[in-house]
């Protein structure tokens, strides 16, 4: 599965509509999770049936595309399955019991509720939430893929704006000829990694470098009155600082990739 992300160019009413769609998806997820907690042993069919009842009971839920509501149910289903799997495997520590979400940042559509323009530079959301047509800004060549290969469309809210993600079902695995050469890699804290040839990649420590600014913005948030517009602005600025650190990490990791089954988190234990 290939995930292609574009920046969404939006007007203010569209942002409000997307926020409403995200809140609705979170509402469905939390209600379905509560239904499962109150009725232990509830199966997959009962969860989807309860989702249908919610659409009949609440008009704002009905305004959201039915497949988007189903995607919220699938999120609950995955959380339940992960919890039971961890219990069966006797994973040490917490087993990941499903929890309610107070904040959400995305809404997911399946293969309905949206329509791409012929040039694939715009996407129109056709449910009753009022998002409408959204301009896509990015460098991915989405036009190369058949629309039937797009299995999911997500709208993601971040500190610096909104993004549209396309989950395309393609085989992006690369077949390489065996060279007969083997190298061992060891991940650490002082050095990002060290190979068996003696080469080591230094740890950039992006968080430590940006921690001072993050603390500064966190203090500004704490000084603002709760519920005020200034506090919301301060929270957004803090979020953008953390987003910057996250992107620095991702960019560095994408340049240096390998596969290791070690418990990296265990290196920091004790």
Rounded to an integer, the average pLDDT of 52-75 is 96
What's CA 33's distance to the chain center, in Å?
Answer: 19
* CA separation for the pair 233, 229 (Å, rounded): 6
* CA separation for the pair 65, 48 (Å, rounded): 14
- pLDDT in the model for residue 260: 47
- pLDDT in the model for residue 263: 57
In contact, 184 and 195? CB cutoff 8 Å: yes
pLDDT tens digits for 229-247? 999 999 999 999 999 999 8
Over 90: is that where the pLDDT of 79 sits? Answer: yes
How large a percentage of the chain has pLDDT more than 70? 95
* DSSP label at residue 55: H
- pLDDT in the model for residue 270: 45
Contacts 24+ apart (CB under 8 A), 198-202: 201/256
- Which distant-in-sequence residues (6+ apart) come within 8 Å of 111 by Cβ? 67, 150, 151
- pLDDT band of residue 69 (cuts 50, 70, 90) is very high
Over 90: is that where the pLDDT of 136 sits? Answer: yes
Nearest-Å Rg of the Cα atoms of the chain is 22
* CA separation for the pair 243, 249 (Å, rounded): 10
* DSSP label at residue 154: E
């Amino acid at each position: 599965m290939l995930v292609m992300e574009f920046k969404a160019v939006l007007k203010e009413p569209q942002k409000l509509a997307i926020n409403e769609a995200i809140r609705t998806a979170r509402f469905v997820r939390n209600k379905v999770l509560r239904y499962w907690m109150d009725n232990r042993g509830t199966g997959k069919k009962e969860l989807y049936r309860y989702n249908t009842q919610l659409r009949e009971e609440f008009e704002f839920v009905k305004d959201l595309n039915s497949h988007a509501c189903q995607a919220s149910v699938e999120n609950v289903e995955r959380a339940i399955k992960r919890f039971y799997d961890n219990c069966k495997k006797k994973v040490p520590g917490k087993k990941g019991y499903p929890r309610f979400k107070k904040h959400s940042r995305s809404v997911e559509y399946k293969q309905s509720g949206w329509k791409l323009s012929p040039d694939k530079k715009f996407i129109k959301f056709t449910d009753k939430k009022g998002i409408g047509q959204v301009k896509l800004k990015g460098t991915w060549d989405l036009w190369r893929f058949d629309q039937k290969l797009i299995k999911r469309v997500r709208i993601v809210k971040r500190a610096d704006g909104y993004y549209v993600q396309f989950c395309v079902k393609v085989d992006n695995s690369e077949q390489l000829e065996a060279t007969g050469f083997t190298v061992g890699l060891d991940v650490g804290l002082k050095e990002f990694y060290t190979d068996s040839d003696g080469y080591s990649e230094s740890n950039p420590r992006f968080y430590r470098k940006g921690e001072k600014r993050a603390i500064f913005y966190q203090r500004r948030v704490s000084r603002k009155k709760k519920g005020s517009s200034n506090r919301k602005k301060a929270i957004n600025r803090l979020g953008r600082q953390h987003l910057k650190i996250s992107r620095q990490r991702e960019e560095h990791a994408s340049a240096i990739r390998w596969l290791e089954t070690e418990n990296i988190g265990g290196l920091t234990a004790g």
